[in-house]
Structures are given as structure tokens and as C-alpha cells.
Amino acid sequence: MKYSKFFGKTKHNPPCDADSKNAQLLTQAGFVDKLAAGIYNLLPLGHRVFTKICGIIREEMNAVGGQEILMPALHPIDLWETTGRSRTMDDILYRTRASGDKEFVFGPSHEETVTPLAAGCIQSYKDLPMSVYQIQTKFRDEPRAKSGLLRGREFGMKDMYSFHVSEEDLDEYYEKAIQAYFNVFERCGLKAYLIEASGGPFSDKFSHEFSVETPAGEDTIIICESCGGAQNLEIAEGKVLDPDEPEEKELPMEKVDVERGFSVEENAKAHDVDPYKILKTVVYEVEDAGLIGVVIRGDLNVSEVKLENYLGKQIRPASPELLKKAGLVQGFISPVNLPDSVKISFIADHSIKNVKNFVTGANAPARDFKNVNLGRDFTIEDFVDLVEVGTGFKCSKCDEPLREIKGIEVGNIFKLGTRYSDAFNLKFTDNDGKSKSVVMGCYGIGTTRLVGSIVEALADEKGMVWPLSVAPYHVHLVHLGKDDDVKEKAEQLYQELTSAGFEILYDDRDESAGVKLNDADLIGIPLRLVVSRKTLENDGVEWKKRTEEDSGIVKFSNLKKELESFIAG
Ligand code: ATP
Ligand code: MG
């Protein structure tokens, strides 16, 4: 394709409203164009990347037996009423009316259409397992559409649904789908981490997310480079290292006067001790169950999701008023010597077990206890893992250091069980003649989000960097200078290479070398070939990979062979 005729060329400046790297680079380079918040046009370059990503996904879904279909985007509202999601997902549903006053929703997902559809196609155990997928547009009225293609209101998704005779059969397929997902992301040039859903009393425990590391990511993930484990920050488990201190004897407990602020740092400073020596108590109000104090080492934080999971109830930090009403003195709360009149229970994180001579509050203004020891000065009935794990902790599986990263969710898979099949009476006759509910799984990949995620993960300071597998073109051919013989040679190369099946974007404009080379870097095609007076003198082209600084001359006579091996990888 000749760039002079291209629909959607590079812009001089990035858009002023771009809130993310992908929005900025994709718009400036002419891959996308914003229509409204969270709603984008895909221009030829962006569409080519998108199509290639979809091609990879298609191959991998077909390889696990997925059959491609295309379901409608408009869904009669009664399907959504059947599952109750017209209510639970009301805030993100786009609703519309058709003639005759029928209400429809623009599909934010397709369980409500695929399940009744499958009910007409699946009768017997002989039909199962079966899986179908589509690559389609979804509509969600996201409260905050942001970060370019990462969170849109109209966006692309591949959604696959699988149907099984039993949980076991679903489990087996689910593992295959996980591998297929890893293949997709790897082929798109991304390293994805598989993360178990955060669980908690209100979420689905049978789901996994695939996340890609990028500073623009909304999620915080704890990873172990060594064993490849990845966990959601909120529930991550890890080994808490004991502080490196000489064996201490238990010293006599003392009550002391102190002038200090409420924070652990201020507390440690006032007593001239390390923060881990502070016995910290964080008080929460538990839904229908009063106050609970979580006792933890001063240098560590409480994971509220772990606490909610443990209690099976919702919690929130206790307000200063509530603390006061309960007879607790904010900033000086501890489980030590509390009068019985104070109605609070305590649990503790394991981290407090191996420290001697803590400093902690005496539940009176400006009064602390020193040399507080577990067992001798206070007791705790329940020890639970309640610590928020981060960088500096060790992997509980392989003992290697854990690292905290920002990630963006590119895929999400669920074991749905019979929730939707029961709602839509999707049953099959088993080999024992009994009618049973079909067991379902669902598997989503954000196709447009993937375009944005590749930019976020791989771009450098000069622009985008596309892996060959999804690059809009293989080669960015440029001629420099106004000499006719240079232009003629470039034109000839363009014709020859294109006819030979190579995907060439040919910058045939009469622009300066600076403009053309900067544009090439911004657009990020993996290989740049330059024809100039100098290269003609050397009977070849300048060959430069987008990911490398160095360039070299490849003779015209060798060019096709070199290109073939470049594309073969
Ligand atoms: P998120 O947690 O990011 O809101 P989700 O859990 O609601 O996503 P799913 O319903 O599981 O997402 O959708 C499957 C995939 O679709 C997600 O993994 C993500 O890649 C993509 N996706 C979801 N919402 C959006 C959006 N608003 N814009 C672009 N892609 C999206
Ligand atoms: Mg999700």
C-alpha cells in the first residue's frame, strides 16, 4: 500500500485528550480515531492489526474444537430478565426500543443468547462436549470509559462458550482453554499471567483472569518470576520474612507517656524502634457483628479482602465516632489490658508470632506499653493469614522473591456450572436415559483491548513496536531524497515485493527524511527498508529492525531471501 494514498496518516501532534499511551500513539499514528468517550473508529492500520489478532484467536479457538458463529448484538430484554441480569447489570446496559414497544438491550455479553440457542442444538450426551465462539462487538455503559482501547463503551470481544455432560468434562476442557489462551497471548507478543479470581463472599471462585504487565494496568498483581505464579494483590499469599534480629529476652512490660502521631512511622520514631516492633491494631466494623481488631506487625498491612473472605461478611474501617462510642482511643488501640466493658474481638495475623518486646497503645491518650509479649501480656484465639503481600515477600511455593506489577486483564474465563442452563432449561439426555442440565464454561478475550495492551506493553519512547505476527505490514519501505532513480528503484521494489506476497507499506511521499523516519518509528512496523542515493551506490537497501538501533545494507540480489527468513522468524 502506498502511504501517499493512505486513509488515516500520522498526525503532527498527539491528541490533546489522550489519557494513555495507547490512545496517544494509536491516534497520532492513524490507527484509530475517537468518535466519543470509549468509542473508536479503527482505521486501516488499526483494522489490519485487529484482523491479525482475530486471526490468531480464531486459529487457537478452532484448535480446541471451537466452532465460529455470530450472534446478534440486539437482545430481547426478556432473555436478560430470565437470568436476572437486567437488574444486576442494569448500570452498564444500553437499552433501546423497537417498533411495537419491544425492549432490547445491546449485548454486553452473550450467555443470555447462546444458552437458549444451544437448547435448540443439544439433545443428547452424544452431542457433547461442544463449544462455539464468536468475535463480536460488545456494548457496556462503563461509568468511566478510559485509557483508549483498554476500556471502551463499544469494544471487541471474542467470547467462547462450552457445553459439557459433567463438571469433570468441563474441568478438562477448561485446562485446554487455558493453554489456548496462553498461545494467543504469546503469539501476540505478550507475556500473560494466569490469575485465580479474587474470590471473596461476593464473587465467583471458579474463574481465572489473564493479565499482561503494563504500567497502565488497573490491577495490581503479585508475581513470582521463578515459578510463574501470579496472584491478585488482594488475596495473594506469600512468606512473611521474620525480622533479622538477635534473640531477645522478654523484658518487663512498662506503661509510658508519649507524644506521638497515629501512624506507625511516627510511633516507631517516638520510641526509637523499627516499625516492625510496633504491634498494630486495625479496627473494622463487621456487617451485623460489631467491631473486630486485626492485630498485625507494624511494617505490614491488612488485606481487607482476605479478612472479608475469612469472616464471610462485609467489613469497613470503624469510624472515629464508633471507636469512641466503644470506649477505644484512636491511635492507641491494642488488645493489651482492655477493660471488659469494651466490646471488641481480636484476631491476628501470623506475623506477630516471632517478634519480642513490641510497642503498642495503652488505650489511653498519649500512653503506650513497651515490651509487650504475645502469650504473656495478651492472648489471641484466632491466627489467620491476613497480610497484604507485596514486593519483598517470598513465594510460598518456591521461596523466590515476589514482585508487584501493574497488569491489564486481557482475558477472563469462568466455570459457569449450570447457572445459565438451568435458567434456560438447557438439558441433555444422558446415556442412562436421564435428563440432566448441561454444564457450561465461558471464555472471553478483549480483542480491541488486546490492540491497546500490545501498544502499552511494547511501545518505546519513539512509538509503537508491533510483533511481526500482528503488525499491520511486514515492511515499511521508504525512499529518501528526490532523485528519480531512487524513487524508481523504490517503486520497483514495492511492486516486486508486494507481488511476491510480502506486506509492504511504501512511504512514497516527498517528505523530509526526518518526517518519514520518525513516522516509521511511530507506526512501529517491525522492519524498515530505506532506499537512498547511498544505498543505491551499495546496490542494496538499508535494513533496520524496529527493535534494534543498528542498520546494515542488504544487497538487492539477496533481499527476497533475507525477507523470507525474517518472516519465517
Ligand atoms: P474488567 O474487569 O476489565 O471490567 P470484565 O471482567 O468485566 O472486565 P469480561 O466480562 O470477563 O470482562 O470480558 C472479557 C474480556 O473483555 C475482558 O477480559 C477484557 O479483556 C475485555 N473487556 C471487558 N470490558 C471491556 C471494556 N469496557 N473495553 C474493552 N475491553 C473490555
Ligand atoms: Mg474481569
Q: Is residue 260 part of a domain?
A: yes
Q: Is residue 446 within 6 Å of ligand 1 at its C-beta?
A: yes
Domain that holds residue 488: 475-568
Q: Is residue 440 part of a domain?
A: yes
Compute the average pLDDT of residues 338-362.
95
Domain of 487: which CATH number? 3.40.50.800
How far apart are the C-alpha atoms of 308 and 373, rounded to whole Å? Answer: 28
Q: Do 157 and 258 belong to one domain?
A: no
Q: Is residue 237 part of a domain?
A: no
Compute the average pLDDT of residues 509-517.
97
Separation of 408 CA from ligand 1 center, angstroms? 10
User: Which amino acid makes up residue 455?
Assistant: V
Q: Do 445 and 361 belong to one domain?
A: no
Task: Return the closest-CA partner of residue 407 out of 219, 156, 157.
Answer: 219
Q: Do 380 and 424 belong to one domain?
A: no
Q: Do 449 and 343 belong to one domain?
A: no
How far apart are the C-alpha atoms of 23 and 455, rounded to whole Å? Answer: 9
Q: Is residue 9 part of a domain?
A: no
**Three-state secondary structure call for residue 211:** strand
pLDDT tens digits, one per residue of 142-193: 999 989 999 999 999 999 999 999 999 999 999 999 999 999 999 999 999 9
Domain of 377: which CATH number? 3.90.960.10
How far apart are the C-alpha atoms of 333 and 327, rounded to whole Å? Answer: 10
What ligand has the least distance to the C-alpha of 443?
Answer: 1
Q: Do 68 and 167 belong to one domain?
A: yes
Q: Is residue 217 within 6 Å of ligand 1 at its C-beta?
A: no
Q: Is residue 469 part of a domain?
A: no
| Beta carbons of 207 and 83 less than 8 angstroms apart | no
Q: Which of 198-202, 242-246, 358-362 has the lowest mean pLDDT?
A: 198-202
Compute the average pLDDT of residues 45-63.
98
Question: Is the peptide bond between 526 and the residue preceding it cis, with omega within 30 degrees of 0?
Answer: no
pLDDT tens digits, one per residue of 99-114: 888 999 999 999 999 9
Task: Return the closest-CA partner of residue 43 out of 14, 12, 8, 9.
Answer: 8
Burial of 212 (0-12, 13-18, 19+ CB in 10 A): buried
Q: Is residue 155 within 6 Å of ligand 1 at its C-beta?
A: yes
Q: How many domains does the chain have?
A: 3
The pTM for the full model equals 0.87
CA 550 to chain CA centroid, nearest Å: 34
Q: Do 181 and 309 belong to one domain?
A: no
Residue nearest atom 22 of ligand 1, based on CA coordinates: 446
Question: Is the peptide bond between 129 and the residue preceding it cis, with omega within 30 degrees of 0?
Answer: yes
Q: Is residue 518 part of a domain?
A: yes
Q: Is residue 158 within 6 Å of ligand 1 at its C-beta?
A: no
C-alpha cell at 360: 503498642
Compute the average pLDDT of residues 20-28.
97
Question: What DSSP designation does 82 have?
Answer: H
The per-residue pLDDT for 255 is: 97
Residue nearest atom 5 of ligand 1, based on CA coordinates: 412
The alpha helices in 246-403, defined as continuous H runs, are: 264-271, 304-311, 320-325
| Higher local confidence (pLDDT), 213 or 247 | 213
